[in-house]
Amino acid sequence: MPTETGRHFLAIPGPTVIPERVSRAMNRSMVNIYEGPLIDLTHGLFPDLKKIAKTEGDCLMYISNGHGAWDAALFNTISAGDKVLVLESGRFAAGWGVMAEQMGAVVETIPCSTRQGVDPHAVETRLRADTSHEIKAILVVQIDTATGVWNDIEAIGKAIKAVSHPALYMVDCIACFGCVPYDMDAWGVDVTIAACQKGLMTPPGLGFVFANDKAMARRNENGCLSVYWDWLPRADPDMYYKLFCGTAPVNHLFGLREALNMIDEEGLDAVYARHSRLARGVRAAVAQWGEGGPLELNIANPAARSDAVTTILTGDIDAQVLRRLCEDQLSLTLGLGIGLDFNAAFRIGHMGHVNEPMILGTLGTVELALAKMNAPYAPGGVDAAIKAMA
Ligand SMILES: *Cc1c(COP(=O)(O)O)cnc(C)c1O
């Protein structure tokens, strides 16, 4: 039987730990969705979300998970037969590409090993060759939750600009929105995707699309086959009922309001610095363990290791056994190694409502599990983390 004493800690990269303030804000009776305080509260969410995306563009909000937001972005910008360039860096951009393919897009992928990120030069070279501008959209993720890679969205934006390619630049920030710096307008991004259940510390159920004027113009040329995903009614502040194409997600809106208040109180820069500090600790621990065994960070280039999630390769230490042991005996849930060998990888999420005791506790517990398994590792991971975080 799993242990039931103390608090179980969920260290998966989304959904993340919900702050009690957010839970309390959500635990309430229904309110009028047509008039009254909910309307003002909802309108107040948009400027705060746009501040995190750093955009003057529109923000469209959906009752959906991240996949829904992917679909929303594609439905408004892609027509059957359009060519879409997917910049692979793990499972997620590829998954978005699969959705585009089902809509009739012709998907071309720039492949990438699971241990690296997108190479901006390769993007520039491919776009330079596309002299007839067949490519209509470029899909990439900022942080790939499967591999733990942190793609350089600014550098890819510069590569697109360098060849003056007119394709829409579309970025999935679901894993790291509100965890790491992002600058949509300055980096030349046309469409940004986010969701509420990772850095935004709210239970799964809200998806966001940010679209600039160029993307909106594409919507107008393209039309939108779906009423539900259509950006236009959702962008019209006078049509409140259309914001959600029906009933508003009342509790989620109250919860998100509270989560955004918490981010505002801490300050975005402090939030980013906290994620960076905690991630440094996780990486230092893994590096130390790896001194005496097969554990290693999945991402080879230190500059491309993400501050929201870390993917750890375990070699011949059975990652499934490690995860099971943590889950059943040590009150810690670790992330599966998705898109990689389940038996030889696991992930630690360090996004959202996390702090030093949570991360040091996670690392100490992983080290305890390694000890219980008699796995080969160099002790002192927690000590290394403390040094890296101090
Ligand atoms: C979590 C995640 C998704 C998928 O979001 P869902 O809410 O599970 O649909 C997509 N992209 C990235 C980068 C993610 O981290």
Supply 208's token pair.
């966001």
User: Is 130 contained in some domain?
Assistant: yes
Question: Do 244 and 277 share a domain, yes or no?
Answer: no
pLDDT in tens, 15-42: 999 999 999 999 999 999 988 899 999 9
**Domain of 233, in residue numbers:** 31-264
Query: What is the distance between the alpha carbons of residues 382 and 367, in angstroms, rounded to a whole number?
Result: 8
For ligand 1, residues with CB inside 6 Å are: 14, 65-67, 92, 141, 144-145, 172, 174-175, 195, 204
Question: Do 294 and 212 share a domain, yes or no?
Answer: no
pLDDT for 264 equals 98
Question: In 3-state terms, what secondary structure has residue 202?
Answer: coil
Counting atoms of ligand 1 from 1, which one is nearest the CA of 67?
A: 9
Mean pLDDT of 78-106: 96
Q: How far is ligand 1, taken at its centre, from the CA of residue 231, in Å?
A: 20
What's the structural domain count of the chain? 2
Q: How far is ligand 1, taken at its centre, from the CA of residue 205, in Å?
A: 12
Instruction: Outline where 57-149 has alpha helix (H).
Output: 66-77, 91-102, 120-129
Question: Do 318 and 178 share a domain, yes or no?
Answer: no
Question: Do 271 and 257 share a domain, yes or no?
Answer: no
Q: How confident is the model at residue 248 (pLDDT cuts 50, 70, 90)?
A: very high
Question: Do 312 and 229 share a domain, yes or no?
Answer: no
User: Is 254 contained in some domain?
Assistant: yes
Q: Residue 279: which CATH number?
A: 3.90.1150.10
End-to-end Cα, the chain, rounded Å? 37
Query: What is the distance between the alpha carbons of residues 159 and 126, in angstroms, rounded to a whole number?
Result: 10
Q: Residue 86: which CATH number?
A: 3.40.640.10
Contact 284, 384 (CB under 8 A): yes
pLDDT in tens, 330-353: 999 999 998 899 999 999 999 999
Ligand 1, atom 8, lies closest to the CA of 66
Which of 248, 264, 280 corresponds to the end of one domain? 264
What one-character-per-residue DSSP string does 11-78 give? ESSSS-PPPHHHHHHHSS----SSSSHHHHHHHHHHHHHHHHHT-SSEEEEEES-HHHHHHHHHHHH-
Query: What is the distance between the alpha carbons of residues 294 and 10, in angstroms, rounded to a whole number?
Result: 25
Query: What is the distance between the alpha carbons of residues 277 and 356, in angstroms, rounded to a whole number?
Result: 9
User: Is 26 contained in some domain?
Assistant: no
Question: Could you tell which of 86, 88, 92, 202 is best to mutate to test the pocket of ligand 1, judged by most ligand atoms within 8 Å of the CB?
Answer: 92
Question: Do 221 and 314 share a domain, yes or no?
Answer: no
Question: Do 253 and 381 share a domain, yes or no?
Answer: no
Q: Under 8 Å CB-to-CB from 321, ≥6 apart: which residues?
A: 373
Q: What angle do CA 384, 389, 390 make, to 5 degrees?
A: 100
Q: How far is ligand 1, taken at its centre, from the CA of residue 288, in Å?
A: 30
- Has residue 87 got a pLDDT over 60? yes
Q: Under 8 Å CB-to-CB from 185, ≥6 apart: which residues?
A: 54, 55, 56, 57, 212
- Name the β-bridge partners of 193: 172, 209
Q: How far is ligand 1, taken at its centre, from the CA of residue 70, in Å?
A: 9
pLDDT for 242 equals 78
Question: Do 176 and 127 share a domain, yes or no?
Answer: yes
